[in-house]
């Protein structure tokens, strides 16, 4: 590979790593601050955010479709196509935002009952959902624009505003949760309100950047651009990616629901484990994101041989970051156990679950880079949908239900078997990678 490849990759990698760190830290700050209120607050917050996780999966699927199309058209330097793609993504994202906002604002208790039967956790989580629905609408706009900037290799701007949002969220969390400056103590509701205000600032930042940008603008008028060919391509590529992410998110949500039926101690331990794992995987997810964009740019420019070599380089790097992520979790275990304020039983679960995640990160790293990065760069999204759906619903959820409720194994063994899901699909993932069926230029000359 030439020097420009590595230069472009590193230029994008570090800002995206920072974005992932901010995202992981935002979730951890919520857990840390709720930790001072009590275990029920942590558990309720963890369960309520599973609903937001489903929203994220829809947005992720939509942005995956827009990024994979936009990355190739940016490689081709076709900016009119980029405007049409952004408009399609905005329409889809806002439609999803409205649907989920209605559910969170009008039926929060019913949504919480999906994850737990504990009345205390249902009540606490419902308070969170009644406020967070505003965030979904704002998030639809910022996520779409930041995705377009990513596809055009403009990642530092998104990193800056994510950083601003993160630090503002910390300050507002403290103010609303604990009632500083004479404001009423809001507890878990304060977390939701702080998140909404922080995201509003990010959206304002999007419009400021758009006004100064020469190529990638944020305009709602793009939603009225008519291009049946691009719309067809978008849905052809985006729909499997969307269904893949939704299927993955729903399955992961089902994992949480299974754990939630095993008691609040398990839920509280798992919420902290998720925070630690999120930090350990920031490098892995950054490699996947950059790999998808860079390889997509090369394919769109008809540099197929370079795209194939680039994919090999990103696979090597993701193995290294996966090992590094596992090491980070292993090193963090004593510190996490020292400062976590959980019951004795929850602390036992926490320790064992952290050890399991030491190896789990490698499976996540490799699969994310190949399925969500490299394969999607060539417009291949159906493989991920089929592979993840069969694996998570056929193996993961089945294993969780059988081990937890049929064989009634100890909690740690239930978690262990569910965490084998990433490795079960490796044979199919590597076989598809070697087939090179994902190396496709999907751009059009007329649309």
pLDDT tens column, 334-349: 999 988 878 889 899 9
Q: Average pLDDT of 233-254?
A: 79
> What percent of the chain has pLDDT above 90?
28
Residue 153 has pLDDT above 80, yes or no: no
Q: How far apart are CA 350 and CA 271, in angstroms?
A: 9
Which among 148, 160, 155 has a CA at the least distance from the CA of 11?
Answer: 155
Higher pLDDT, residue 332 or 71? 332
Q: How far apart are CA 157 and CA 168, in angstroms?
A: 17
Residue 351 has pLDDT above 90, yes or no: yes
pLDDT digits (tens, 9 = 90+) for 169-200: 888 878 887 777 777 777 778 888 888 898 89
- Burial of residue 119, with CB atoms counted within 10 A of its CB: 0-12 exposed, 13-18 middle, 19 or more buried: exposed
Q: How far apart are CA 384 and CA 370, in angstroms?
A: 9
Helical axes 344-367 vs 282-300, angle rounded to 10°: 20
Rama region for 331: left / alpha / beta (φ>0; ψ in -120 to 50; rest): alpha
Are the CB atoms for 173 and 137 separated by under 8 Å? Answer: no
Confidence of residue 429 (pLDDT cuts 50, 70, 90): very high
The pLDDT of residue 1 is: 59
Residue 26 has pLDDT above 70, yes or no: no
Q: What is the CA radius of gyration of the chain?
A: 21
Residue 117 has pLDDT above 80, yes or no: no
Are the CB atoms for 109 and 122 separated by under 8 Å? Answer: yes
Residue 369 has pLDDT above 90, yes or no: yes
The pLDDT of residue 138 is: 93
Residue 29 has pLDDT above 80, yes or no: no
The pLDDT of residue 430 is: 94
Confidence of residue 235 (pLDDT cuts 50, 70, 90): confident
Q: Average pLDDT of 82-107?
A: 89
Residue 433 has pLDDT above 90, yes or no: yes
Confidence of residue 35 (pLDDT cuts 50, 70, 90): low
Lowest-confidence segment of 99-113, 233-247, 310-324 by average pLDDT = 233-247
Are the CB atoms for 23 and 252 separated by under 8 Å? Answer: no
Q: How far apart are CA 233 and CA 361, in angstroms?
A: 33
Higher pLDDT, residue 322 or 214? 322
Residue 34 has pLDDT above 90, yes or no: no
CA distances from 257 to 117, 389, 410 (A): 10, 17, 16
């Amino acid at each position: 590979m030439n020097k420009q490849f590595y230069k472009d990759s590193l230029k994008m990698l570090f800002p995206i790593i920072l974005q992932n760190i901010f995202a992981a830290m935002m979730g951890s700050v919520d857990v840390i601050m709720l930790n001072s209120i009590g275990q029920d607050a942590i558990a309720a917050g963890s369960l309520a955010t599973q609903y937001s996780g489903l929203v994220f999966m829809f947005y992720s699927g939509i942005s995956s479709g827009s990024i994979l199309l936009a990355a190739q058209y940016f490689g081709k330097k076709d900016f009119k196509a980029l405007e049409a793609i952004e408009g399609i993504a905005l329409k889809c994202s806002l439609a999803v935002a409205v649907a989920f906002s209605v559910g969170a604002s009008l039926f929060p208790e019913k949504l919480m009952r999906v994850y737990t039967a504990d009345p205390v956790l249902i009540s606490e989580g419902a308070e969170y959902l009644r406020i967070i629905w505003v965030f979904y609408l704002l998030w639809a706009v910022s996520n779409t624009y930041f995705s377009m900037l990513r596809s055009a290799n403009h990642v530092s701007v998104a990193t800056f505003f994510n950083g601003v949002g993160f630090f503002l969220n910390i300050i507002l969390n403290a103010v609303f949760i604990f009632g500083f400056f004479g404001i009423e103590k809001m507890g878990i509701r304060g977390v939701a309100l702080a998140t909404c205000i922080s995201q509003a600032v990010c959206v304002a930042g999007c419009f400021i950047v758009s006004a100064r940008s020469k190529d990638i603008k944020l305009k709602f008028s793009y939603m009225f651009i008519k291009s049946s060919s691009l719309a067809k391509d978008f849905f052809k590529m985006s729909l499997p990616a969307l269904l893949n992410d939704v299927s993955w998110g729903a399955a992961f949500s089902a994992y949480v629901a299974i754990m939630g039926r095993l008691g609040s101690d398990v839920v509280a331990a798992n919420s902290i484990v998720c925070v630690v794992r999120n930090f350990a995987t920031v490098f892995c997810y950054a490699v996947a994101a950059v790999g998808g964009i860079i390889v997509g740019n090369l394919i769109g420019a008809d540099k197929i041989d370079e795209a194939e070599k680039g994919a090999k380089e990103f696979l090597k790097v993701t193995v290294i970051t996966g090992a590094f992520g596992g090491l980070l979790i292993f090193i963090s275990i004593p510190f996490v156990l020292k400062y976590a304020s959980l019951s004795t039983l929850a602390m036992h679960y926490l320790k064992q679950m952290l050890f399991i995640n030491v190896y789990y990160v490698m499976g996540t790293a490799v699969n994310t880079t190949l399925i969500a990065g490299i394969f999607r760069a060539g417009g291949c999204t159906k493989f991920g949908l089929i592979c993840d759906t069969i694996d998570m619903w056929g193996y993961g959820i089945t294993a969780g239900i059988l081990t937890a409720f049929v064989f009634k194994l100890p909690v740690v063994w239930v978690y262990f078997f569910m965490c084998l899901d990433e490795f079960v699909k490796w044979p199919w993932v590597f076989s598809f990678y070697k087939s090179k069926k994902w190396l496709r230029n999907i751009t059009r000359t007329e649309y």
